[in-house]
């Protein structure tokens, strides 16, 4: 399968040289060819899974505890205001 590496590189904002374009084109083609092979597999009797092995989350209850060293913690930041870190505005 032929891949338009120039188009993919432009979308990803990558500046690729001629050798890289050739190499990545070959690699992407090989990946897509293998994906075509996988699509031919009969998976009708395979249950959908998100992990190959059974997994479970270990959750604990959140507990609120007092913080006695707020001033020490805030001393690590460049600026503070009303017992909070002051950071530059990023949204208008």
Q: Is residue 30 situated within a structural domain? A: yes
Q: Is residue 66 situated within a structural domain? A: no
Mean pLDDT per 10-residue run, the chain (92 residues)?
87 94 93 93 88 86 90 90 88 78
Phi-psi region of 89 (alpha: psi -120 to 50; beta: other; left: phi over 0): beta
Quote the number of domains for the chain. Answer: 1
Determine the Cα–Cα distance for residues 34 and 40; give it in Å rounded to an integer. 10
Q: Is residue 28 situated within a structural domain? A: yes
User: What is the pTM assigned to this prediction?
Assistant: 0.48
Domain that holds residue 34: 5-39
* CATH at residue 9: 1.10.20
Q: Is residue 10 situated within a structural domain? A: yes
Q: Is residue 25 situated within a structural domain? A: yes
Q: Is residue 80 situated within a structural domain? A: no
Q: Which residues pair with 84 in a beta bridge?
A: 81
Q: Is residue 20 situated within a structural domain? A: yes
């Amino acid at each position: 399968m032929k891949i338009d590496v120039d188009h993919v590189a432009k979308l990803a904002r990558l500046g690729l040289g001629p050798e890289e374009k050739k190499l990545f084109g070959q690699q992407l083609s090989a990946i897509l060819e293998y994906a075509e092979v996988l699509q031919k597999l009969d998976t009708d009797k395979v249950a959908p899974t998100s992990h190959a092995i059974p997994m479970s989350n270990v959750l604990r209850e959140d507990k609120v505890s007092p913080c006695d060293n707020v001033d020490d913690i805030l001393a690590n930041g460049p600026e503070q205001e009303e017992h909070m870190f002051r950071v530059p505005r990023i949204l208008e």
